[in-house]
Structures are given as C-alpha cells and as structure tokens.
C-alpha cells in the first residue's frame, strides 16, 4: 500500500520531472537607465575622440558628446526633448568630473567613452 501524500505535498511532486523542451528561444534585452540611454550615437571618429578625451580628462569627452545631441545625434531616449537629453549628458559629465578624485569617475568616464565607440560602430 502506497502512503498517501501529506497535506503540503501535491500529486505533481510525486511524478518524475520532465526535461525542458528543446528549441526554446530566449531574448535578452538590456534595460538602460536614463543617463546611459542618453549616450548619443555619434560618427565613429567623433566617438573615438570622446573616448580619448575621457581617458585623459575624465568627463571632457562626455561633455563634448552632449553638444552632439544638440547637433542632431540620436539617442535611446526618443520620447525626451533634445534639451533634456543634453542636460542628462552634462550631468553625467559632472558626475565623472566630481568623482574622478576617488578614481570612480575616471573609470566611469573610460567605460562611457567605450560605450560611445560601441554605439558608433553599431550606428555606421
């Protein structure tokens, strides 16, 4: 005689588990915050110059990239006004400059410049 399942157990738990079906497609989409989504899609040479500037003077390349938004560079924030995206880039540059003293801003600035180059390579 089989023992009956206890109150907390279900009948499904008694059955052996089945292997997951093959052929399942999983899509991963990166969710960007407003500062990161405000990075403009620039021409490749401009993005490389901004990376160079961010490497040696933290925040300077991000500051320069803010003005490319005013020149019509596209961002991942299409629903926001151009001036709002400009000020988001200025805020990112100020964060990089002010926290460069403790190396956080300098590292953030280099990664920001690398993101600019990656976006520029995807754009062209």
- Residue among 52, 70, 63, 48 nearest 96 (CA): 63
Residue pair 66/83 in contact (Cβ under 8 Å)? The answer is no
Interacting residues of 16 by C-beta distance below 8 A, sequence separation 6+: none
- pTM for this model (two decimals): 0.72
Are 62 and 92 a contacting pair, CB within 8 Å? yes
CA distance 7 to 82: 61
Each of the 124 residues of the chain gets a pLDDT tens digit; together they read: 555 555 544 454 555 556 566 778 888 877 778 888 999 999 999 999 999 999 999 999 999 999 999 998 899 888 888 899 999 999 999 999 999 999 999 999 999 999 999 999 987 7
């Amino acid at each position: 005689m089989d023992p009956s399942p206890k109150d907390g157990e279900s009948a499904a738990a008694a059955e052996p588990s089945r292997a997951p079906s093959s052929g399942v497609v999983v899509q991963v989409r990166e969710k960007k915050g407003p500062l990161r989504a405000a990075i403009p899609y620039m021409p490749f040479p401009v993005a490389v110059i901004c990376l160079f500037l961010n490497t040696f003077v933290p925040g300077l390349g991000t500051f320069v990239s803010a003005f490319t938004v005013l020149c019509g560079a596209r961002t991942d924030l299409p629903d926001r006004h151009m001036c709002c995206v400009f000020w988001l880039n200025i805020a990112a540059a100020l964060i990089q400059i002010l926290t460069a003293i403790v190396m956080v801003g300098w590292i953030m600035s280099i990664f920001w410049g690398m993101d600019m180059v990656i976006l520029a390579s995807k754009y062209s």
